[in-house]
Amino acid sequence: MGIAFFEKDKIFKLDTPSSTYMIAIVDEEGFLGHVYYGKRVPDENLSYLMRTREAPFTPSVNNRDRASFLNTFPMEYPTHGLGDYREDCLSVLTQAGHSACGLRYVSHRIFPGKPKLEGLPATFGGEGDCTTLELLAEDPVLQLRVVLRYTAFERLDAVTRSVVLTNGSEEPLRLTKVLSACLDMDNRNFDLITLHGAWARERQIQRSPLCRGRQSAFSVCGESSHQEHPFLALAEKAATQDSGEVYAMNFVYSGNFLAQAELTQFDSVRAVMGIHPYDFCWTLAPGESFTAPEVVLVYSDSGLGGMTRTFHDLYRGHLIRGEYRDKPRPVLINNWEATYFDFNTEKLIAIARQAASLGIEMLVMDDGWFGGRSSDDCALGDWQVNENKLPGGLRRLADEVNRLGMRFGIWMEPEMISPDSDLYRAHPDWAIRIPGRTAVRSRNQYVLDFSRREVRNYIYECVRAVLKSANIDYLKWDMNRQLTDLGGIALPAGRQGELLHRYTLGVYEMQERLVTEFPHLLLENCSGGGARFDPGMLYYSPQIWCSDDTDAVERLKIQEGTALVYPLSAMGAHVSDCPNHAVGRVTPFETRGYVALAGTFGYELDVTKIPKEDRDQIPGQIALYHRYSGLMRQGDYYRVASYAENHGYDCWMVVSKDKQEALVTYIQVLGRPNAHSVRVRLNGLDESALYRVEGEGQEEQVLSGAALRCAGINVGGLWGDFRGRLIHLTAERT
């Protein structure tokens, strides 16, 4: 495993445990070509796969058809304006107004470990974890140097890619498009898998045949968005959860993105990913560098499930940081759906007192504690406690909560400003807006210009002061609107196209400062629910609020799509009140607990007002969470059945790494008359081992892992809609 360069054949070979990625230097001009990506192969010369020995041949052989070569050659990093009419990755505008760019290989270096990306989140690994290849290419006309960086992981079938560009000329260059990765390959009747949705319906799985032309998922909202997601996968038509080849790409970034697959005239596929070029233009002065965010590539020859488990292991071990990466999260109760803005110290203490008696471990105070905030129409930016609502301030409240044996957390929305706020009245120029235009409001708020250091410094000091004013163990960082009327007062006219990326970098800088100064803080990111649930945010917070829709049935589809890529430990999931505040559905309290167990687990309700029969279940639910939290946080996830596909029931399981234990969650969404039990087949177990199968209402059995996989078990006896069951499997000692 690792990375090797075969000088005779001019081939770079990147190996992971089960995959190979191969690049070649082609022709005397040094084109960088993509040779192969797929199941691991021996050290052989596969350069024939690039078809350079057939028409139109390479330019050194047939320069009269250079354009045909450029438009068909499998480029490792395609550029704009010289004859490749497929989607390109790099476009540069010169002072003369020209946009063409062409890269040629110059040199390379291979070294153990993985360097950081300056100012950006990225996966990490030490010398024993991964190996990195840096390919230096250059456009000799523009004197633009481009480093293509690849890292291959030793124990995971993942390869990461990023790009660093440096202007070596004596005049500025304007980068109008910088994507981070391209993957050229032959089509094999692929399906394209993407994640789509809306507010309260995030990350719904969409699988459709890859068609002629360009199909994309993208965001130009200034965030990764509710509507689309920075992920795509190309799957063989016959690929299932358990078999078939899958190629996946995920963007470690939280702003505008483009994820696109293109099926060309010659049945080749080009998949690209990176910062969306919409409203992007970056001036690169002489000697300056620009670093593009990272793309994670995952290959699986064991279906979507193999892809999922690689992403989970990579992100748990090489992206998420901090002390909460490897330890249980506290069971919290958030007061938002319990009280909205109508609360005071006494009401919160009453909720905390009842919650503490049930075993809940943390109270989180949501929106409405600061400034004159009595609704969502005012006071964002005025991060001083409202002592009319909370006499004695945060310290008194936190101390009272701590005396009950609970920890205390708080909600903030640092990136936003209300027009009706003291901060806006003092600094209206701090909001993103275009002079002369009526500013666009959303949720009656504007966005602070985090591209400006003075704005970031002021807001950071506000957050810092709040966290230091009391014993605060948890911060929910929210962001409740998308970006519009893009104008940055501190940027000159020629650099307005830098605003969106500089804004995202500003958010990253703020959160890096936060987790550095407060290493014991549990940070949970949120964006109107799940609008910024992406790998970039996971680098700073070990968990992200999955969706504002907490209905257990709706969450089945949301959490299935999220878990396709992200570990269960990253998904903020709570038991909420009924009728549910998003859809009005009433589901059993027990079922709500089972669904939330596949996440961070907590409560979003008023425990003083819910029915006694529901309240009495809470200690048992918390006991289940503590019993299985290690398994859910560290185990291997298997999707058994999908309610989104069968419209009747949902089922997933988590298997411990040593295969000694597993937990199956089965949710019957709709009851059926005159029906047999449902048979589910369970994967991921040791086929030679015997397992005791147990669960309330489930026939106790001892079956082999082989029988559980091939024959399965029957799940029945659930009466009514929205009913669930946990089935626990333990390996018998022999």
- Contact between 210 and 186 under an 8 Å Cβ cutoff? The reply is no
Q: How far is CA 30 from CA 4, 52, 99, 166, 391, in A?
A: 18, 13, 21, 19, 71
CA distance 286 to 278: 24
Note every long-range contact of 244-247, with CB atoms under 8 Å and residues 24 or more positions apart, other chains counting.
Answer: 244/301, 244/303, 245/38, 245/39, 245/188, 245/299, 245/300, 245/301, 246/298, 246/299, 246/300, 246/303, 246/304, 246/306, 246/307, 247/37, 247/183, 247/185, 247/271, 247/297, 247/298, 247/299
C-alpha of 127 from chain center? 25
- Contact between 305 and 332 under an 8 Å Cβ cutoff? The reply is no
> CA-based angle 450:453:455, to the nearest 5?
55
Of 523, 547, 597, the closest CA to residue 324 belongs to 523
How many Cβ atoms are within 10 Å of 186's Cβ, its own excluded?
Answer: 12
What is the identity of the amino acid at 70? L
- End-to-end, the C-alpha distance of the chain in Å comes to 36
Longest dimension (CA), the chain: 83
The C-alpha R_g of the chain, in whole angstroms, comes to: 27
Specify the residue for token string 């990755």. Answer: 89
Q: What HEC string does 537-601 produce?
A: HHCCCCEEECCCCCCHHHHHHHHHHHHCCCCHHHEECCEECCCCCCCCCCCCHHHHHHHHCCCCC
> CA-based angle 119:125:129, to the nearest 5?
165
* DSSP at 397: H
CA distance 727 to 514: 40
Phi-psi region of 654 (alpha: psi -120 to 50; beta: other; left: phi over 0): beta
The residues, any chain, with a CB within 8 Å of residue 261's CB and separated by 6 or more, are 190, 192, 210, 214, 215, 216, 232, 234, 269, 270, 271
CA distance 462 to 414: 9
How many Cβ atoms are within 10 Å of 299's Cβ, its own excluded?
Answer: 23
CA distance 713 to 699: 9
CA distance 481 to 391: 31
CA distance 588 to 576: 11
CA distance 617 to 212: 54
How many Cβ atoms are within 10 Å of 95's Cβ, its own excluded?
Answer: 10
Q: State the catalytic residues.
A: 478, 548
SS3 state at 503: helix
Strands (E), 301-423: 332-334, 362-365, 407-412, 416-417
SS3 content of the chain, % helix, strand, coil (to 5): 25, 35, 45
- Number of alpha carbons in the 13 Å side-chain half-sphere of residue 695: 23
For residue 332, report the phi and psi dihedrals to the nearest 5 degrees.
-110, 160
- Contact between 669 and 684 under an 8 Å Cβ cutoff? The reply is no
